[in-house]
Structure 1
Amino acid sequence: MRPNLYEFAGGEPAFRRLAVAHHARCLADPELNHPFSHADANPEHLEHLAAYWAEVLGGPPVYSQRYGTESALLVMHSGNGDLTDLGRRFVDCFVAAADDAGLPGDLEFRRALRDYMVWAVDEFLSYPEPGDVPGGKSIPRWSWDGLVR
């Protein structure tokens, strides 16, 4: 039996590296720079991001136990208008950051990461206003085969 995505990636240290690398790529992107330059308003942003991705991809429920629900996260990121191009850029930065962070280059693993992020961006962009987000959404789980229902 193969390990889950979190374990295959290398556990918590891998997701910390991924969050740092992704943030750096977003800051370097001329369109993503503005929203990501405000992360200093929350000095724990990278820790939260790493914990979130780790939990989604099979790691321990650190994000949901310490920081909140999927609904709260969706509300925080809603109400920003049409961000379709930013979403594409975000995915591109995520894919490149996996290289920067030294995550395994296994093609099936990389496909699962990309598929997750495309799904996640679509999910986040599907709530244009905070009032559109349903309450009670829990942190999603993603496996080698996609969204775990």
Structure 2
Amino acid sequence: MEQGKVVPTLYEWAGGQAALEKLTEVFYSKVLQDELLYPVFKDMAPGHSRHVAHFIAEVFGGPRLYTEGDKGSHATMVAHHLGKMLDERKRKRWMDLLLETADEVGLAADPEFRSALVGYLEWGSRIAVINSNTDENPVKEGEPMPKWGWGATGGPYEG
């Protein structure tokens, strides 16, 4: 990298808040039309897609709209998944629809961004399945929000 060149956040590269809100708005409208996912999301609050966009934005290095504006936290997000009894079939359909929507709304399609996006979605959706099959929140209030960037993640072997 050239000296002095600033690396953009995933949030900036994605197109900022407007791009993420468009992504989640179009995505959740598809979810409500999907036979497999509709039962999971049929009772979601009207502002759900915006809150999810705020969460992703913050995780991707954007403004703290989820924690400050929505008064949410990592523990709050995890709590929304508790007891939902998600499974691999639903997770894969959720992933497919979200990535299809990313293409449809024109989210950045370069390999580097898509690698980071898919990495985050795979990580988050697999954790959501695990957390959905319990009633106990493994994330305590006050624990930091996840942060996702361009680099490789660490493994469970790192202590």
TM-score of the aligned structures, taking structure 1 as reference length: 0.88
Correspondent of 1:21 among 23, 26, 29: 26
Correspondent of 1:141 among 137, 147, 153: 147
1:44 and 2:50 aligned: no
1:116 and 2:120 aligned: yes
Count of aligned pairs: 147
| Identical positions, percent | 30
User: Within 5 A, what are the aligned runs for 1:64-75?
Assistant: 64-65=67-68, 66-75=70-79
Structure 1 residue 63: Cα displacement = 0.2
Structure 1 residue 82: Cα displacement = 4.5
Q: 1:143 to 1:45 in 2, by over 3 A?
A: same
1:45 maps to amino acid? H
Q: CA contact under 8 A between 1:14 and 1:103: conserved in structure 2?
A: yes
What's the CA shift string for 1:92-114, capped at 9, x where partnerless? Answer: 11111111221111111111111
Secondary structure at 2:84 match in 1: coil
Secondary structure at 2:136 match in 1: helix
Runs of at least 5 residues in structure 2 that lack an aligned partner in the other structure: 1-5, 155-159
Secondary structure at 1:77 match in 2: coil
**1: distance between equivalents of 2:152 and 2:64?**
18
1:31 and 2:31 aligned: no
Computed over aligned residues only, the root mean square deviation of the Cα atoms, in angstroms, reads 1.9
Higher-helix-fraction structure: 1
Structure 1 residue 126: Cα displacement = 1.9
**2: distance between equivalents of 1:17 and 1:132?**
30
Q: CA contact under 8 A between 1:76 and 1:130: conserved in structure 2?
A: no
Q: CA contact under 8 A between 1:69 and 1:139: conserved in structure 2?
A: yes
**2: distance between equivalents of 1:146 and 1:90?**
23
Q: Greater shift after overlay, 27-36 or 129-138? A: 129-138
Correspondent of 1:57 among 56, 60, 75: 60
2:23 maps to amino acid? L
**2: distance between equivalents of 1:130 and 1:146?**
31
Runs of at least 5 residues in structure 1 that lack an aligned partner in the other structure: none
Structure 1 residue 20: Cα displacement = 1.0
Q: CA contact under 8 A between 2:74 and 2:139: conserved in structure 1?
A: no
1:125 and 2:117 aligned: no
Q: Greater shift after overlay, 91-100 or 121-130? A: 121-130
